[in-house]
Structure 1
Amino acid sequence: MTHPLIVPMAAHVAWAAFLYVVLTAARAPAVWGVGRRADGSNPWSKLEPRISANLSNQFEWPLFFHVACVLLIITRDIGPVPQGLAWLFVVGRVLHSAVQIPIANVRLRGVVFTVNFLAVLALWAVVVARALGV
C-alpha cells in the first residue's frame, strides 16, 4: 500500500517538472529561435525571469516539506492532519506559481507563501510531537 504522504510529495515533484517544461518553452525563442516574433524578440521575455524565480522557489522552503514527510513516513504513524497539511502545501505551491508568474502581485504572493510556510511548520510540529511522544 502506498503511504498517503507519497502522493502529495509526488505531486510537488510533478509540479516542479511542469515548471521546468514551461521554463524551457519560455526560453525556446531565445535559445533555439523557436517561436520568435517577426522582429526576432522573445514573446515570453517578461515571464521567463518570473518562471525561473518560481522554479528556484520550489527548492527552497519545499525542502523542509519533503524532509518532514519522509520523517513521518519512517514513523509509519500517520493521520488525517499531516495528510491535509501536505495537500495544503501542494495546493499552496501551485497558487504561489499562479500568483508569482503571471500576476507578480508581491502582497498576494506573500499571503499565499504564508499558507505554505505555516503548513510546513505544522507538519514539523507533528514530527516533533510524535518524536517526543506527545
Structure 2
Amino acid sequence: MTLKLIYPALAQILWTFVVLVIMFQRRKRAFANREIGLADIAVSTERYPDSARLAAANFSNQFETPVLFFALILIAIHVGATGYVMAALAWAYVATRVVHTLVHTGTNSLKQRALIFAAGIACLFFMWVGIVVAVL
C-alpha cells in the first residue's frame, strides 16, 4: 500500500511548516526585543540575531535534500517499491531532518550536524537503491 510512503512525505511537509513557525517566532522576538528594526533587514537578513539566522538557514535546508526525498517517494510509488524497508528508510530520513533541525537551531554543532546529514543522505541513497532494484 502506497500510504506507507505518503505518511513520511506528509510528515516532512509538516516539519517544514514547523521550522517556518520557529523562524517566524525568532524573527518576531528579535523585533520585540528591539534587537533589529525594519531598516536593518530591508536589504539583507544578515542583521538578524544568530538564533533567527540559524532558523532561517534551516528553513532553507528544508528545500535542499528533501527535494530528492519527495522525488524518490513519487518514483517509489510509481514503480511499486513501497515495502516496509522503503517505508522505514523514508521515516528514518524524516527523523534525520527533525534531529538536524534541533541541532542546527540549538547547539549548532557542526560535527553532529554533519553526522546527521550523512545519515539522511544514506537513507536517500538506499531508497534510490531500492527503486533501482524494483525496476530491474
Question: Partners in 1 of 2:130 and 2:2 — Cα distance?
Answer: 20
Question: Partners in 1 of 2:29 and 2:106 — Cα distance?
Answer: 19
Selected match of 2:35 from 34, 37, 41:
41
Over 6 Å off, 4+ runs: none
Question: Partners in 1 of 2:7 and 2:71 — Cα distance?
Answer: 15
What do you get for the CA RMSD once the two structures are aligned?
1.7
Question: Partners in 1 of 2:61 and 2:127 — Cα distance?
Answer: 19
Shift of 1:2: 6.0
Structure number having the greater helix percentage: 2
2:80–2:134: 8 Å Cα contact kept in structure 1? no
Extract unaligned runs of 5+ from structure 2.
37-47
Instruction: Output the TM-score relative to the length of structure 2.
Output: 0.85
Extract unaligned runs of 5+ from structure 1.
none
Selected match of 2:76 from 58, 72, 75:
72
Structure 1 counterpart of 2:126, which letter? A
2:2–2:82: 8 Å Cα contact kept in structure 1? no
Q: Number of aligned residue pairs: give it.
A: 125
Shift of 1:46: 2.0
Task: Tell me: higher relative CO, structure 1 or 2? Use CA pairs within 8 A at least 6 residues apart.
Answer: 2
The equivalent of 1:28 in structure 2 is 28
Match of 1:41, SS?
coil
Percent identity over paired residues: 28
The equivalent of 1:127 in structure 2 is 131
Question: Partners in 1 of 2:61 and 2:35 — Cα distance?
Answer: 27
CA deviation map 1:14-44 (0-9, x unaligned): 00011111111111145xx4x32xxx226x8
2:86–2:130: 8 Å Cα contact kept in structure 1? yes
Question: Partners in 1 of 2:2 and 2:120 — Cα distance?
Answer: 24
The equivalent of 2:41 in structure 1 is none
Instruction: Output the TM-score relative to the length of structure 1.
Output: 0.86
